[in-house]
Amino acid sequence: MFDTVIQGGTIYTPEKTFIGDIGIVGETITEITDGKRLEGKQTIDATRKCVFPGFIDPHVHIHLPFMGTNAIDDHESASKAALVGGTTTIIEMICPGPEDEPEAAFTEWKGLAQEGCCCDYTFHLAVVRFDDLAKEQLRNLVANEGVQSFKIFLAYKGALNISDEHLLELMQLCKELGVTLTAHCENAEAIDAMQKQLIEDGKTGTEWHEPSRPRNVEAGGVAHLCDIAKKTGATVYVVHTSCGEAVDRAMEAKSRGVDVTVEAVAPHLVLDKTYAERPDFEGAKFVMSPPLRDKEEHEALWSGLANGSVLTIGTDHAPFNFHGQKDMGAENFTLIPNGIPSIQERVDLVHTYGVCTGKIGMQTMVDACSTNVAKQFNMYPRKGAIQIGSEADIVVYDPDFVGTFKHEDGLSKVDYSGFEGMERKGRSDVVLLRGTIVAEQGTFVGETGVGTYIPR
């Protein structure tokens, strides 16, 4: 007798897709059949529904002290939003300041997550400080705490960026430790100079955000990262890639032997720069970096996903309220806290605008939003797969649900939705975290604080 049985859904396993049943004992998948009916203490009817592995978001910000404020979610609100949207594991960016010690930052972020996180979680650790003490602590965190990925910013001069000297040495350390280096690719100096000039010229509105950090600067950042990766042999992962030019630079480097992976994030796939140009400061809701681009770039990213150049889809969830936070930049776009929240909407956006339009297949959605993330960041097959022995993180998904994205449906604390009124097809009907039902039809029904840290 199983504790829970999911009956009659279309199951997506790494090998094949078929209609069948899944049996769960405790927190683990223990049986999968493609005909034989299973019986359990609890039954979930998945007829006419898809059964996916729990989705994994490779790029979220929850505790984020940034641009003079702090992102508005806490781990409870962000993880509840994640779960109702079908995301059962998140990878949060630990982003300490230039004076902070890495071990203290790890302890702080992990402590906050332990207090309230309702989904499972792990971390990428941003390397902002890189002196001898920091290097020693980075080694300790990898050896003792299961940290397997660092993060660097080629952006945000004076706040989070890293010098080339430190970047080279850090990549050598990553190579030695077998750690993946995730990277925000732009050019901190160039952007700072361009932004100063624009502001001096009186170009202070949100419509100047994109021109202040153009595509070629982002593509140049990718090329720069890959050049150093080529020299050092480090494994690199380009986060939130916004345009075809940047994907192309990464693929050129890959063809020269660089171990590089490209991530897209939900806002860049469905929103374009005209949103950030909206009048009356409305555009501030859509200020993120790299910026929203021309609509044509959506096609470049979707086709990158379809042909395997882009392997993962995250959110870069970075929630700042429109009132009281974004408006810090009402007179100067460079002071608007950067970020567009989407931790809840990601899977439905990808389903609606990628799968339902035929730009990508359902399997690509599952791979990019779950399996590839688990593989890339050393959680596979514990996470990211429906197979015997994997944790029972499972999404029973209703592909026929039709609605619109609405802020009022959101569980994040943020005061707006970047996708308000947009058409929505599909919804996570039942979400299980390690065998327990935690969300049903848009409502969180789990227990607060039961998320666990996933050492990698």
Residue 311: CB minimum distance to Zn ion, A: 17
- Are the C-beta atoms of 266 and 312 separated by less than 8 Å? no
Stretch that binds Zn ion, among 71-79, 179-187, 205-213, 426-434 (CB under 5 A): 179-187
Nearer to Zn ion, 241 or 370 (CB): 241
Q: Closest by alpha carbon to 287, among 278, 276, 271?
A: 276
Binders in 310-369 for Zn ion, by CB under 5 A: 316
Q: How far is the CB of 95 from Zn ion (least distance, A)?
A: 8
Tell me which of 49, 80, 129, 184 binds ligand URP, using CB under 6 A: 184
Output the residue with the shortest Cβ distance to ligand URP. Answer: 338
Q: Are 106 and 65 within 8 A, CB to CB? A: no
> What is the DSSP annotation of 250-316?
HHHHHHTT--EEEEEEHHHHH--HHHHT-TTTGGGGG--SSPP--THHHHHHHHHHHHTSS-EEE--
Whichever of 339 and 435 has its CB closer to ligand URP, that residue is 339
Rounded least distance, CB 446 to Zn ion, Å: 26
Least separation in angstroms between residue 440's CB and Zn ion is: 30
The least distance separating ligand URP from the CB of residue 180, rounded to whole angstroms, comes to: 16
- The Cα–Cα gap between 290 and 376 comes to 22
3-state DSSP percent of the chain in helix, strand and coil, to 5: 35, 25, 40
User: Which of 321, 338 has the CB closer to ligand URP?
Assistant: 338
Q: Which of 121, 287, 92, 91 is nearest to 204 (CA)?
A: 287
Given 21, 316, 348, 367, the residue binding ligand URP (CB under 6 A): 316
Q: Is residue 213 part of the contact set for Zn ion (CB under 5 A)? A: no
- Choose, by CB under 6 A, the member of 339, 341, 354, 384 that binds ligand URP: 339
What are φ and ψ of residue 209, in 5° steps? -65, -50
Among 110, 184, 268, 383, binds Zn ion (CB under 5 A): 184
Please list, in sequence order, all residues whose beta carbon lies within 8 angstroms of the beta carbon of residue 358, skipping any fewer than 6 positions away: none
Chain residues binding Zn ion by CB under 5 A are 184, 316
- Give the interface with ligand URP as residue ranges (CB under 6 A): 61, 184, 240, 288-289, 316, 318, 338-339
